Structure 1
Amino acid sequence: MTNSSASPFSPPILSLVVPMFNEAGNLDGLFDRLAQVLGGLDASYEIVCVDDGSSDDTVARVVDHHGRDPRIKLVELSRNFGKELALTAGLKHARGRCVVMIDADLQHPPEVIGEMLEKWREGYEMVIAVRRGRDDESAFKRSAAKVFYELFGRVSEVQLPRGAGDFRLLDRKVVDVLNAMPEHTRFMKGLYAWVGFRQVTIPYDVAPRAAGQTKFNAFRLWRLAIDGITSFTSVPLKVWTFAGMLVAAFALLYGLLFIVKTLILGIDVPGYPSLIVAITFFSGVQLISLGVIGEYLGRVFSEVKQRPLFVVRQAVGFEAETKDEPR
């Protein structure tokens, strides 16, 4: 079989990047499914598992599977850096001519990989798997996703395909461009869209989680949305510039109204209620605008520190690679 006879010293055709965080209960089923699917493809492959600071025995299980199949490799991060940086670590270690990102919980069906490879061989440089629907999610999450995609599409310089996540195939040239990007606040779906290249979408149905629970709570999703918007547009800053002009114009008109009432019409105007309302309103506007500015300043602060994107505790299965191989 082609994928089993390839030399470990030569880069494979296909690399799978699998970010993991406390996924020990899913690994046996994951590797069994991947072996069945990848074994039927005419392509050599490797599976790059990225452990993002798991507290269970995810690392031990991956190492055990590596002992049975050296094509299964491990990149263990020193702590939890988040999924975006776990994907980044996987892309930097992947050696394949094309790379597929797939979740460890089997909600991304491995059977789609074959169709992705076919599209790649047709000349597409990015094959995006798009979910057919969101019936498996709560009404709140569906509504939040709809609002985010609508807002992002209006204010950003790039467009995100509706229903697309990290499940996709990237050509080596796309991976090299992504690896060359040094930015620390990484919204991967936005970066995929920004780099461009020849793209195509294929539909798929999301499967239930094989085991465990999702690691993305409402707060993490909110942070991801904020990172996405602030990483790809300066519109929030411009909005507050416009809002400041409107507030200044409103204050000027309001002041003129008081002048007319008191000096021309001779009407006494009670000051305390209107003053309290005005102070409260303007204080709220200022706090919100400072928060927006703080988000952008925080990103500048993160970039200028020039810290590494992630720290690798150990890498298992990469010993056979030589430094002169293409990365």
Structure 2
Amino acid sequence: MDWRYSTRVEGFPMNVSVVVPVKNEEGNVLELHREIAVAMRSTGRSFEIIFVDDGSTDATFSLLKQCAAEDACCRVLKLRRNYGQTVAMKAGIDAAVGAVIVTLDGDRQNDPADIPEMLRKLDEGYDVVLGVRTVRQDALLHRRLPSIIANRLFSMVSGVKCSDLGCALKAIRASFLTDIELYGEMHRYLAVLLQHAGARCAEVRTNHRPRVSGRTKYGLDRTMRVLLDLLVVKYRLQWFNSPMRLFGSFGAASLLLSFAAAFGTVFMKLRGTDMTGNPLLLLTVMAAFAALQLFSLGILGEVCARVYFHASRRTGYVVAEQLNSSDEDSGSL
């Protein structure tokens, strides 16, 4: 096993970190570790493999300890309990020291042999390379069909075209992950969050293999959580910096509706119409209160956004490059 100690040298910067969240994958982790090591060794780059055990109840962690003992490039994080795939992936990303971070699932359906091609694509000047599963090896009803619907809906709502939203195999420059917040099922929307951060993205067709061991953790209930998180992504991308644009628009519409209903109420009253049971007066009052509440939510949202940016010391922008910066001799006369 000459792949064990081949690519981690003390004192030299790490080039690639491969992050793999796993849960109850005792039948897959040993072979997956070998496949990743072989694929990464073929690139000639320094690398580390980070397995994140997300609360496994089988022998997964014991086998990962074996991998870590035999391979100096293999690091293992064991979470105290099951937090979910997104949090496990975030833990691995936070622990990674590589300039490039590669993520993939721990069920061996993503093929590590595709990683070298993705890294070569990254070298062409892209910031993110996304895997696209060409031939899905999953059940149609509860995996492929929900994925197709989610991809179409995602493109419609976000305006970002993404061929395969659910493919976990990605290669990302670590500098773009610094300010990305991952929670819920947000790892699935990593592509659009990175594009929103200014990353240049490319796609690479990848091999998708059938699961040979263990049980899938995906189902229709998870699809529903993914769709709900889509609403959060839409809000974050379009209205997070200025919530009043969203709530103020609905508030203005409610206020116009209230004025229209009030005008109709007065007009009908002046014509002598019997107003008993007429809904326009009630609509006037309800729409006015709705407008007041929506404007109030917009103001509260603006305050919360400002507090968030101030407390987290975020500026709302990222500088890609500086020329003649103030801490250098500008050469001015």
TM-score (norm 1): 0.71
1:146 aligns with 2:146: no
Give the distance between the partners of 1:219 and 1:3, measured in 2 at CA. Answer: 41
Give the distance between the partners of 2:302 and 2:35, measured in 1 at CA. Answer: 43
Distance change in 2, residues 1:169/1:228 (3 Å) = same
Q: Secondary structure at the match of 1:15?
A: strand
Q: Deviations over 1:186-243 (max 9, x none)?
A: 6633442234345432112433334311246134313432332232220775343222
Aligned residue among 194, 198, 220 for 2:225: 220
Give the distance between the partners of 1:241 and 1:93, measured in 2 at CA. Answer: 41
Q: Secondary structure at the match of 1:128?
A: strand
Q: How does 1:230-309 map to 2 (within 5 A)?
A: 230-234=235-239, 238-263=245-270, 265-271=271-277
1:28 aligns with 2:30: yes
Distance change in 2, residues 1:183/1:31 (3 Å) = closer
Aligned residue among 85, 94, 97 for 2:96: 94
- Preserved contact between residue 128 and residue 201 of structure 1 (Cα < 8 Å): yes
Give structure 1 stretches of 5+ with no counterpart: 154-158, 307-327
Give the distance between the partners of 1:87 and 1:106, measured in 2 at CA. Answer: 16
Q: In structure 1, what is the equivalent of residue 64 of structure 2?
A: 62
- Preserved contact between residue 3 and residue 38 of structure 2 (Cα < 8 Å): no
- Preserved contact between residue 66 and residue 73 of structure 1 (Cα < 8 Å): yes
What letter corresponds to residue 230 of structure 2 in structure 1? A
- Preserved contact between residue 15 and residue 47 of structure 2 (Cα < 8 Å): yes
Distance change in 2, residues 1:7/1:22 (3 Å) = closer
Q: Secondary structure at the match of 2:169?
A: strand
- Preserved contact between residue 51 and residue 58 of structure 1 (Cα < 8 Å): yes
Give the distance between the partners of 2:46 and 2:287, measured in 1 at CA. Answer: 63
Distance change in 2, residues 1:277/1:266 (3 Å) = closer
Give the distance between the partners of 2:202 and 2:152, measured in 1 at CA. Answer: 22
Give the distance between the partners of 2:304 and 2:284, measured in 1 at CA. Answer: 30
Give the distance between the partners of 1:242 and 1:259, measured in 2 at CA. Answer: 26
**Offset at 1:177?**
4.2
What letter corresponds to residue 44 of structure 2 in structure 1? D
Judge which range, 3-12 or 48-57, deviates more: 3-12
State the structure with bigger RCO (CA 8 A, min sep 6), 1 or 2: 1
Give the distance between the partners of 1:301 and 1:42, measured in 2 at CA. Answer: 46
Judge which range, 106-115 or 277-286, deviates more: 277-286
Aligned residue among 209, 213, 234 for 1:229: 234
Q: In structure 2, what is the equivalent of residue 116 of structure 1?
A: 118
- Preserved contact between residue 55 and residue 83 of structure 2 (Cα < 8 Å): yes
Q: In structure 2, what is the equivalent of residue 203 of structure 1?
A: 205
Give the distance between the partners of 2:232 and 2:135, measured in 1 at CA. Answer: 25
- Preserved contact between residue 15 and residue 100 of structure 1 (Cα < 8 Å): yes
TM-score (norm 2): 0.70
**Offset at 1:7?**
4.7
- Preserved contact between residue 12 and residue 96 of structure 1 (Cα < 8 Å): yes
How many residue pairs get aligned? The number is 296
**Offset at 1:22?**
3.1
Distance change in 2, residues 1:12/1:241 (3 Å) = closer
Distance change in 2, residues 1:253/1:176 (3 Å) = closer
- Preserved contact between residue 16 and residue 47 of structure 1 (Cα < 8 Å): yes
Distance change in 2, residues 1:299/1:21 (3 Å) = farther
Give the distance between the partners of 1:299 and 1:52, measured in 2 at CA. Answer: 32
Give the distance between the partners of 1:58 and 1:303, measured in 2 at CA. Answer: 40
What letter corresponds to residue 216 of structure 2 in structure 1? Q
Give structure 2 stretches of 5+ with no counterpart: 313-333
Q: In structure 2, what is the equivalent of residue 163 of structure 1?
A: 164
**Offset at 1:72?**
1.9
